[in-house]
Structure 1
Amino acid sequence: MKLGVYTAVLHDKPLREALSIIKGLGLSGAEVNAGGFLPTPHLPVTQLTSGELDPAEYLSAFEEAGVELTGLNVNGNPLHTDPEVGPQDADDLRRAIPVAAMLGVRRVVTMSGLPEAHPGGRWPAWHVNPWDSGYLDSLDYQWDEVAVPFWREIDALARDHDVKICIEMHPQNLVFNPPTLQRLVEKTGATHVGAEMDPSHLFWQGIDPVAAIDYLGDLVFHAAAKDTRINPACAVYGVLDDRFTRAPAAEHPTSLGGRHTVNRWPHDSSWDFVAVGRGHDVEFWSAFLAALDRVDPDMAVNIEHEDAQLGQLEGLQVAAETLRAASRYAVQPA
């Protein structure tokens, strides 16, 4: 198992400093952003694709730090109907695949995306409980006319470059749980599309991440280490808590492309993303790593830090300590 960090949380640090921090945490892997929702401070995509920067020169920073580049991340919505979002996110993904191959990286993380409900629609629509036949009509359109052609193209591109596409099963996407991930693979006949197993989005849906790994098996290509804590407010508001509010421009909210930004989280939320170990204990994380090991002993597992109560380095330290402890028990000698 390769334990590391997704470096988005270290976006304000130069690459070499970020890698030094990862090494200091006792970890050995790094996943860096290559486009989508977030900028690319640790990956000079343009210089690499233009030939201005030699891949070996870029990778030398990782070699000197003793940290392996284990994945590129292009999370976004490549199916978004907004012309300022969808086409850009899709192009970022297309560009990241050959860059990954150039760098010898075999994993690119992204999201499945979510299109409009019907032709001509102006906003993505997430139909998660399609009790009305009209919702099924909409899902047929979203899957068969939008998602399947796009993902067939991406799978072919990934296959040509010997790169695996690892989809984060994320709400507000067509693929948000194990069955929808499996559906995408089956509908497209994909050979190079599978799952990035991020348990944080599964926890609040009531899904057992270990059972999800066993269900998907060889379709699990890559993993994230991010935890979720269910709060007392869930008893009243439920997991579909909708009390998000707009963040004022003065607060410089995180951009999601075009005019779209991240909203404010409810102050007494039903659930929160927390550092690994602050939602589930070492016993769970040991079982999680053991389940991943059954699929691929060399799988990369990268910490994604989004705990609003802990600082940048503090959150990474808490997560790294939990993961290191869990790894000692995850795989017992035969």
Structure 2
Amino acid sequence: MKLGVYNAILHDRSLPEAIAVVRDLGLAGIELNSGGFLPATHIPTLDQIIASDAARDDFLGVFAGTGVSIAGLNCNGNPLHPNPVIGDAHARDVRRSILLAERLGQDRVVTMSGLPGGEPGSTVVNWVVNAWNSAALDVLDYQWDIATGFWREIDRFAADHGVGVALELHPQNLVFNSADVHKLIELTGATHLGVELDASHLFWQQMDPVSVVRHLGELVFHAAAKDVRVNPEWARLNGVLDNSFRRLAPDEPRTNLGGDEWANAWPEHSAWDFVALGRGHDTAFWTEFLRALHEVDPEMWVNIEHEDVSLGRLEGLQVASEVLLEADAALRAGL
């Protein structure tokens, strides 16, 4: 497998400094933000790269001789958001990322399927968690109609530019499990839409990432290495859909998600947490995860995403990389 790091956790430093971190971890690639929820911090000349060979060559020159290459582009966001300030901007970022990928010799763009509002005229998203009533199915029918048109167009655009679009199976998106993936492909007739397999979002939903990889097969284009720890004392009381998040005040450090939407503070007594690799599932699990991905594509990028708030930026990457490299070594020994 090809192992790297998703660069969001390294936005506090320059691209050459981030590349050096990845190299020193013993990893080979860096997945770069190209828009969406987060800015393209490490691609400040994005539009110039699309338009100019000189700008492209200058950017690629930053990687020359480092032993680290670009490991895909990431524009996670909500291109279906009913507020055009957010939705139109994120959709534009998806298209720009596809053009950028082609220019940089990349064939993978990671994003999310998105989530519309629940009815015409909506201004906020509506995630149907459990469609037990007919009104909820009406909402889903409306949302799937919007998603089908958008992703059919994006699939054709991606095909024209030789790029695969990998959708992260992320909750509060229309496509967040295997059944939804098959539905989207069937409705759109897509040939260049697939999945970014981030195991963390599957764990807390009681999905088995290894089984999902083997079930989806060639629809898995890309992967993220991020772990989850379930906290039984709170999960047994509040379940994994607990909404005890806290709104952050404007004077607190917070992440803008587009328009006037912001990430909230995680529940103090959470049913589950994102943790570094090995803190939720052991190396043996990650070896089997890599094995399943290897069966699909031995050259697939598997990039660490660090969101363990108990560990510093570099500390968390070090913990995760040690587990991932150990798992990869075990995989290679068993092939």
**Shorter-chain TM-score: which interval?**
over 0.9
Identity of aligned residues (%): 54
Give the Å deviation of 1:59: 1.1
Whether 1:61 and 2:62 are equivalent positions in the alignment is yes
- The separation in 1 between residues aligned to 2:223 and 2:182, in whole angstroms, is 17
**Which whole-Å deviations, capped at 9, do the CAs of 1:247-274 have from their partners, x for residues lacking one?**
1111131000000000011111000001
8 Å Cα contact 2:50-2:56 kept in structure 1: no
Mapped pair 1:149 → 2:153: no
Task: Tell me if structure 2 keeps the 8 A contact 1:204–1:230.
Answer: yes
Mapped to 1, the partners of 2:54 and 2:129 lie a distance apart of 44
CA distance in 1, matches of 2:333, 2:179: 30
Matched, 1:173 2:173: yes
The letter of the residue matching 1:227 is: D
Shift of 1:63: 2.3
- CA deviation map 1:210-248 (0-9, x unaligned): 000011000000000010000121110100011001011
Letter of the aligned partner of 2:201 in structure 1?
H
| Counterpart amino acid of residue 210 in structure 2 | V
Distance in 2, Cα, partners of 1:27 & 1:115:
37
* 1:127 lines up with 2:128 in the alignment: yes
Matched letter for residue 249 of structure 1: P
Please give the alpha-carbon distance, in whole angstroms, between the structure 1 residues aligned to 2:234 and 2:294. Answer: 35
How much does 1:54 deviate?
2.6
Question: Superposed, which structure 2 residues align to 1:301-316 within 5 Å?
Answer: 301-316=302-317
Question: Any idea what the Cα deviations from partners look like across 1:168-216, whole Å, max 9, x if unmatched?
Answer: 0000000111111121111100000000000000000000000000110
Alignment-derived partner of residue 52 in structure 2: 51
- The CA deviation string for residues 279-313 of structure 1, in whole angstroms up to 9 with x for no partner, is 11000000000000000000000000000000000
> 1:128 Cα shift?
2.4
SS in 2 for 1:65: coil
The separation in 1 between residues aligned to 2:86 and 2:31, in whole angstroms, is: 23
1:323 alignment partner in structure 2: 324
Give secondary structure in 2 for the equivalent of 1:99.
helix
Greater alpha carbon shift after TM alignment, 167-176 vs 121-130: 121-130
- The answer (yes or no) to whether the contact 1:293–1:331 under 8 Å persists in 2 is no
Provide TM-score, normalisation by structure 2: 0.97
Secondary structure at 1:256's aligned position in 2?
strand
SS at 1:196 equivalent: strand
Root mean square deviation, CA, Å? 1.1
Give how far 1:30 is off.
0.9
Equivalent residue, structure 2, for 1:210? 210
Structure 2 residue ranges without an equivalent (≥5): none
1:240 paired residue number: 241
SS class of match (1:84): helix
SS in 1 for 2:258: coil
Q: What's the offset of the Cα at 1:64?
A: 2.2
1:267-278 matches, within 5 Å, as 267-278=268-279
Alignment map for 1:32-43 (pairs within 5 Å): 32-43=32-43
Corresponding residue of 1:252: 253
Aligned structure 1 segments of 4 or more residues deviating by more than 6 angstroms: none
Partners of 1:147 and 1:136 in 2: CA distance:
15
- How far apart, CA to CA, are the structure 1 residues paired with 2:136 and 2:312? 42
SS in 1 for 2:229: strand
Q: Hey, what's the Cα distance between the residues in 1 that align with 2:258 and 2:264?
A: 13
Contact 1:70 1:106 in 2 (8 A): no
Normalization by structure 1: what TM-score? 0.98
Structure 1: which amino acid aligns with 2:248?
A
**1:10, 1:137 → 2: CA distance?**
42
Counterpart-to-counterpart distance in 2, 1:46 and 1:315: 32
- Distance of 1:331 and 1:187 partners within structure 2: 38
The answer for the alignment partner of 2:21 in structure 1 is 21
- The letter for the 1-side match of 2:39 is P
Q: Mean alpha-carbon deviation: is it higher for 61-70 or for 306-315? A: 61-70
Query: Does 2:193 correspond to 1:198?
Result: no
1:101 Cα offset (Å) = 0.3
Instruction: Trace 1:2-17 onto structure 2 (pairs within 5 A).
Output: 2-17=2-17
Distance 2:64 2:163 in 1: 21
- How far apart, in 2, do the equivalents of 1:35 and 1:280 lie? 31
| Separation in structure 1 between the aligned mates of residue 272 and residue 171 of structure 2, nearest angstrom | 14
Report the residue type matching 2:76 in the other structure.
N
What is the CA distance between 1:40 and its match in structure 2?
A: 1.0
Q: Supply the AA of the counterpart residue of 2:224.
A: A
Q: Corresponding residue for 1:116?
A: 117
The one-letter code of the counterpart of 2:303 is N
Matches of 2:317 and 2:328, distance apart in 1? 16
How far apart are residue 333 of structure 1 and its match?
A: 5.3
**Which residues of structure 1 form unaligned runs of 5+?**
none
Q: In structure 2, the residue corresponding to 1:221 is in which secondary structure?
A: strand
Please list, as runs of the form range in 1=range in 2, the aligned pairs for 1:181-196 lying within 5 A after superposition: 181-196=181-196
Query: For residue 161 of structure 1, what is the aligned residue in structure 2?
Result: 161
